[in-house]
Amino acid sequence: MAASPFQGLAQVNIFANDVAAARDWYADRLGIPAYFQRPDDANPAYVEFRVGDHLFELGIVHSAYQPEGASRQAGGAVARWHVDDIVATVRALIDAGAAPYEPVIERGEGFVTASVIDPFGNVLGLIHSPHYIERLGAAGAGSTPGD
């Protein structure tokens, strides 16, 4: 079998009508500021965060730049962010204005998923993944799905 040209996810882009408000909401949730903003921080059309252990990129794009025919409804593919305590994270996101989308579901063998709709209409997927923890070499070190 030939080597895959796909080397890993590098970026997820979401859309918002108010990029500045989305930037601020995500900065509060992620605990970090956006590192890149265009055209400027007062009226951004695009902002980007580097998140997590691998500095994965989360980009927020103004809705005016969505491809023609793109659905304005939440749904479709869901990128899931690993979290240590999925129950507490879902609760905090809902308290911050997100809406429930997929409840916390124990998938077996330590895998737990959930998702919410952010205040800008995007699905924000969450997962507690033993595989992610293993890859970081931190299996069992403070990473439990929560209750």
Give residue 147's pLDDT. 43
Give residue 144's pLDDT. 47
Global pTM reads 0.80
Is the separation of the CB atoms in 79 and 125 below 8 Å? yes
Residue 105 resides in a domain = yes
- What is the identity of the amino acid at 115? S
CA dist., res. 15 & res. 121, Å (int):
8
- β-pairing, 56-62 with 11-16? parallel
If asked whether residues 25 and 58 sit together in one domain, one would say: yes
Kindly report the CATH number assigned to the domain that includes residue 31.
Answer: 3.10.180.10
Is the separation of the CB atoms in 115 and 103 below 8 Å? no
- The sign of the dihedral angle between the CA atoms of 56, 139, 104, 106 is positive
Give residue 5's pLDDT. 65
**Range of 37's domain?**
7-64
Intervals of the chain under pLDDT 70: 5, 138-147
Domain edge (last residue) among 22, 39, 64: 64
Residue 147 resides in a domain = no
